[in-house]
Every structure is written in structure tokens, then in C-alpha cells.
Amino acid sequence: MYKPDTIAAQALGWIEPTTRAIVPPIHTATTFERDPDNQYRSGRVYVRADNPAFDQAEQVVTALEHGTETLLFASGMAAATAVFQALAPGDHVVAPKVMYWALRSWLAGYAAEWGLKVDFVDADNVDAVRRAVRPGETKLVWLETPANPLWCISDIAAAADIAHRAGARLAVDSTVATPILTRPLTLGADIVMHAATKYLNGHSDVCAGTLTVARLDGYWQRVKAVRKGNGAILGSFEAWLLLRGLRTLPLRVRAASAAAMRIAAHFRGHRRIADVLYPGLTNFPGHEVAARQMAGGFGGMMSIRVAGGAAAAIATAAQLKIWKRATSLGGVESLVEHRASIEGPGTPAPGDLLRLSVGIEDAGDLIEDLELALAGAGAGD
């Protein structure tokens, strides 16, 4: 198998057979011709199940994740919720207390009403995961690592072992790590999910999600049926843009990770900063596990706790010029967000926390912008 840089740059080297174009066309057809003898030998019937515009992006993600098959979805949430909707009402699932906020809300609300029994645990603690899993009853363990917005690290290999002994599957939201830094399927996970809206696309202009599976089985058939039945499919233009974004994924992830490491090291112990949350820092609680299961960097996501509390944090964000105040992450441009404001009551994000999505700008410029904003806001004075 080729290295990730080669897979991504050439999108697996695919050439369009009729024109020899090295970039794929954008297929927009919603339907496909039936053979005269009433068969569908092309294998494609109708776009909701069989869009050829998805083929390459799905195959590139499969190759990067060392998986067997990938499905594109209309969003990260559509991909993640399909994992749970392919279970049955009454099934027990284990999910992290600290995780992507909208999915946690969906699990606590819609999924619970639909009949899933959901237990939220401190997923950075292997013993807590072990205690929560009920052999024979638990059907799925969900992890997110590093996890929004505190970047808690979960041990994928240990959780896979616990889940499998209990007869459950392990699914990992690997949006923040990306397949460049972590490949959960090679560590024992059964499914890996990405909000492709973030790093996979990387340019803040496509909303998409992916699921990649380790092996094909009846459960995966149900996931496919959920996508087809619920119809949460991506458009052809978005699939094409996603493929274009994927070609530079390794470069973007390495640049963002290197810049994040520099920024974290700069602000650690800084008088205007109460704490820096970044898995690359050796004093970070999950650092050892992160060092074991992330290769080539610790990602572009971090949080800072601003000295002076929530008001100082919001005032700092207000003064930033390069960092844009916006939600989302994983784009080429750096973003800052006061998470407690967007998550509301029940958030694990302290009021003084600013989430930073480090882009690929010059790290020195990003540090200077933060320094000026912290000083302008009088943080820690």
C-alpha cells in the first residue's frame, strides 16, 4: 500500500477512461439506464443509493483509514447518527461525557426517546469504560479522541478490547485526529467516523461526513440501509470538492499540527493564560496515550483558558485580527470560539475557555495576534 501522501495527492491515481482526464468529471445523473433484458449490470439504479460522484472520495478515505468500505453522508451528524440508527431500540450504548456537543445532545434526546439506552462515561478513563459496558447488552461503544473541547484522549486499543469482550462494536469519531495522525481501525475499532466538513475537506466550504468500516457484515448493511432510507446523502458537487480537498490533507494536517505545537509551547505558563489544553504537551493528562496512538503530530485543535475568566476570554476573542471568531474547525484559516457560549447549560467547557482551530497561516503571526489580543483585553492584569 502506498503512503498517505501518495494516496491523497493522486486520489489513488484514477484516470477517467474515456477522456484520459486526471481529474474526475462531476456526475450529476440521478438515474441510470436499465439493460434491455431488465437487469442493472452497471450496478447503479438511483442516485440516493448509488452516486458515482462518491466513488473516488469514498475509496480515498478507505485507503487512508486502512478500511474495507466507506460511505459519504450529507454531514458528520448524518454519518454519526446512522451508526446509532442501525442499532435497535432497547440496545445499550456507551458514549463519552466530553464529546462533540450536537451529537451528545442528539444521544441524550432523540436517541433516548427512540429507545437506545445511553450511558455517558469519562471515556479518557479505561476503567470507567469497562464498568459501563454490560456484556451481551451493550451493542456499541462510541469514542471521540481527541475530544471536543477539552481534547481528552481515549485509548482506542483498550476500548476495542473491552467492547469486543462484551460483544459490542467500537466506533471512533476521529475528526480531530484525521487518518494522517491516527488510524482507529488498525487499533481495533470497527468503524471510524469523520465530520468531513472539517479536515478531510479542509476549506470550510463543504458539509459532509464519512463512515469507514473494518469489515462488511449485516450491521454495515443496516448502516447502508439507513443512508439510503433516510436519504442524508451528499450532493455531487460537494463530493467533487471534498475529493479536491482530500488531495492536500497530509500537508494541511502536518502544518496545522506543527503550528499548534508551537502555539501551545509558547502559551504554556504564560502570565495571561491559566491553562493550555493540548495533547502534545507532556504535562497533559492524556499525553502518553496520545503519543502512542497518534503519529506525526497531535493535531491542530487546542484550547486556552484565559486568565481573568469568561469576560477576559470573550474580550480576547473580540480583539483578534487573524483568528476568526467562528464555530467549526479543520479549515486552512484559524478560528477561535468561546465554547461555553455556543454549548450553553451543561457544557463541560469552563467559561474562560477559548477553543482554537489552528490553520496553516504562519505560526509566528498567529502567536503575535494572540499576544496583542490578550494584552488588549487586559487578561491576567
Ligand X SMILES: *Cc1c(COP(=O)(O)O)cnc(C)c1O
Nearest residue to ligand X by CB is 76
Question: How far is residue 311's CA from residue 359's CA, in Å, rounded to a whole number?
Answer: 25
Which residue, 198 or 227, is less far from ligand X as judged by CB? 198
Q: Which of 104, 139, 169, 198 is flagged as catalytic?
A: 198
CB of 327 vs ligand X, minimal distance in Å? 9
Which residue, 138 or 210, is less far from ligand X as judged by CB? 210
List all residues 6 or more positions away from 237 whose beta carbon is below 8 Å from its beta carbon: 26
CB of 147 vs ligand X, minimal distance in Å? 8
- Select from 131, 141, 26, 153 the least CA-distant residue to 94: 141
Which residue, 100 or 298, is less far from ligand X as judged by CB? 100
CB of 337 vs ligand X, minimal distance in Å? 11
CA dihedral 167, 168, 174, 179 (to 10 degrees): 30
Q: Are the C-beta atoms of 58 and 200 separated by less than 8 Å?
A: no
Which residues on neighbouring strands pair with residue 152, listed in sequence order?
A: 147
CB of 99 vs ligand X, minimal distance in Å? 8
Which residue, 76 or 184, is less far from ligand X as judged by CB? 76
Among left, alpha and beta (phi > 0; psi -120 to 50; other), residue 27 is: beta
Which residues on neighbouring strands pair with residue 121, listed in sequence order?
A: 96
- What are the grid coordinates assigned to 184, written together? 482507529
The backbone torsions φ and ψ at residue 282, rounded to the nearest 5 degrees and listed phi first, read -65, -25
Q: Note the residues at the interface with ligand X (CB under 6 A).
A: 75-77, 80, 100, 103, 144, 148, 173, 175-176, 195, 197-198, 207, 209, 329
Q: Which of 48, 134, 228, 247 is flagged as catalytic?
A: 48
Q: Which of 124, 173, 190, 369 is flagged as catalytic?
A: 173
Q: Where are the alpha helices (DSSP H) in 206-286?
A: 218-230, 236-246, 249-267
173 as an active site residue: the answer is yes
Question: How far is residue 255's CA from residue 332's CA, in Å, rounded to a whole number?
Answer: 10
Which residue, 79 or 312, is less far from ligand X as judged by CB? 79
Q: Which of 100, 199, 219, 278 is flagged as catalytic?
A: 100
List all residues 6 or more positions away from 235 whose beta carbon is below 8 Å from its beta carbon: none
CB of 182 vs ligand X, minimal distance in Å? 13
The catalytic site residues sit at 48, 100, 173, 198
